[in-house]
Amino acid sequence: MKIQQKKLKKKPVVAVGVSGGVDSTMAAFLLKNQGYNVLGVTMKIWDDKQKNFKSGKSACYGPGEKEDIRDGKKAMQKMGLKHKVIDLISEYKRYILDFFKKEYLAGRTPNPCVICNQKLKFGFLLKKIVAEGMKFDYFATGHYARIKYDPAKKRWLLLAGKDLQKDQSYFLYRLKQEQLKKVVFPLGELRKEEVKKLAAKSGFGAYAKKIESQDFIEGENYSLLFGADLKKPGLIVDEKGKILGQHNGIHNFTIGQRKGLNLGGLAEPYYVLDIDRCKNRVIAGKKSAAFSNTFFIQNANWIAWKNLNKKIKAEVKVRSSQEKYACEIIPVEKRWKVKLKKSQFAITAGQSAVFYQKDIVLGGGIINLR
C-alpha cells in the first residue's frame, strides 16, 4: 500500500496524530511498516474541572477522552512506538469552545472541526512537539484525503480521499501551504473497509469495532457549553414579524431546524429561516422559504491559488455530509459571491463552503448569507 503521492526523505521521522481510533492507528501502522521512524502524539483537550458533562456518545470533547488516550497509548506500545500526550486544554478552550459559543450567540452556526484542524491539530500541537524537544520531518493523521505538488503552480494541492463516502477534505480546507508541505495522509488512497480489514488482520480488530466520533462534544446538546445564565428567552416570528411562539435562547437553533420550535396550530411544519441576534428573535417559515441559490463567503483560504480574483465555475459543499453542487464563484470586493445552479435547503451562516474541481480542493470560506 502506497501511503500517498508525496516523496519523503529516506528514513524520515513522522509524528502521527493518534486519537485512539482505527484510522490514526492504521496510519501509524502503515508508516512503521514502510520503514519510517514513527512518533505517536495525542492532544489532551478535555478539562477535568468540567462537571456538567457525562460520558456518553463518542465525541472529541468529553470525559471519554481518557479512554481514547489509553487506547492510543496501548496501540503505540503494541507497535513498539514512542507516544506523547500534549496538553492543549487552554488552546482548545480559547480557539474552539469560546469561538463556538461566540458564533452561536451571534446567530451563526460554526464548524468547530474545521477550526480545530487548522489551529490545533496542524498548529499548536506541532509547535508544542517542537517546544518539548521532539524533532520530526513530517506530520501524519488518519484523515481520508490526499496531497500532491503541482510544479506548474508551485503549490501543494489538497485532494479528496479515494473513498468518497469517507472523504474528509472538507474539514481540511483551511490548511496553509506551509502546513500541507509537511503533512502526510497514509489512508488517502484507501477505502474505510480496507482499513478495517487491515486492522483486524494486524491484531487491531478491537479498534475497528470502536464507535466513531459523532459530534465534537459529549452530551445531548450544546447547552452544556453555555450555562443557564446565557439562556435568554425571546420570540419566534414569521417572515412578516407575526409572533408564533417563544424560544429559550437563540443558541439552541440553526437554520433549517424543525425540531424544538414547538409551534402549534400550523397547517404545515415550520423551519428556522434566520436568526436575528440584535432582536433576539428566531424567524420561522415554510420549508420552501428555506431554499436559496445565492450566498457570500468571507475569511476565505485558497489552496489552488494565492487568491481568487476572477469568476470561475466549480462545485461546492455547504455541509460536510452533503453532496457537491454546481456553482459560480464571483469575487466581490473583499469577499466572494456564490451562485448555485440549483437552489439548496438551509444554507447556514457560519458554516463552511468548500469548493472543488473534480477531486481537487480549490479552497473555501465562511458562509455569510448577505
Residue 2 inside a domain? The answer is no
- Average the pLDDT over each of 57-61, 121-125, 345-349 and give the range with the smallest value: 57-61
Instruction: Judge whether 144 and 188 are in contact, CB under 8 Å.
Output: yes
* Residue 321 buriedness (CB in 10 A; 0-12 / 13-18 / 19+): exposed
Would you say residue 252 has pLDDT above 90? no
Asked if residue 356 and residue 241 are part of one domain, the reply reads no
Domain match, 312 and 336 both: yes
Angle between helices 65-78 and 22-33 (to 10 degrees): 20
Q: How many domains does the chain have?
A: 3
Band (pLDDT 50/70/90 cuts) for residue 265 is confident
Is residue 9 scored above 60 in pLDDT?
A: no
Alpha-carbon distance of 23 to 27, in angstroms, equals 6
**Residue type (1 letter), 197:** K
Q: Reply yes or no on whether the pLDDT at 149 is more than 80.
A: yes
Residue that terminates a domain, selected from 265, 289, 313: 289
Q: Is 3 a member of any domain?
A: no
- pLDDT bracket for residue 151 (50, 70, 90): very high
Q: Are residues 140 and 34 in the same domain?
A: yes
Categorize the per-residue pLDDT at 159 as very low, low, confident or very high, splitting at 50, 70 and 90. very high
Q: Tell me the residue range of the domain where 143 lies.
A: 13-217
99 and 31 belong to one structural domain: yes
What residues form DSSP beta bridges with 337?
296, 330
Percent of the chain with pLDDT over 70: 92
Rounded to whole angstroms, the Cα distance separating 302 from 103 reads: 23
Q: Name the average pLDDT for the chain.
A: 91
Answer whether residue 1 is part of any domain: no
Q: Is 348 contained in some domain?
A: yes
- Residue 1: the pLDDT is 40
pLDDT of 62 over the 90 cut: no
Same-domain check for residues 63 and 47: yes
Confidence of residue 54 (pLDDT cuts 50, 70, 90): low
Question: What distance in Å separates the CA atoms of residue 27 and residue 19, rounded to the nearest whole number?
Answer: 11
Q: Does residue 198 lie in a domain region?
A: yes
Q: Are 316 and 324 within 8 A, CB to CB? A: yes
Q: Among residues 217, 250, 280, which one ends one of the domains?
A: 217
pLDDT of residue 43: 96
Q: What is the pLDDT of residue 341?
A: 97
Domain with 310 in it: what CATH number? 2.40.30.10
What pLDDT sits at residue 173?
A: 98
Same domain, 237 and 301: no
Domain boundary among 188, 217, 246: 217
**4 has a pLDDT exceeding 60:** no
Q: What is the mean pLDDT of residues 98-121?
A: 92
Same domain, 270 and 348: no
186 with 310, same domain: the answer is no
pLDDT at 3 over 50: no
Q: What is the pLDDT of residues 63-106, one digit of tens each?
A: 889 999 999 999 999 999 999 999 999 999 999 999 999 998 88
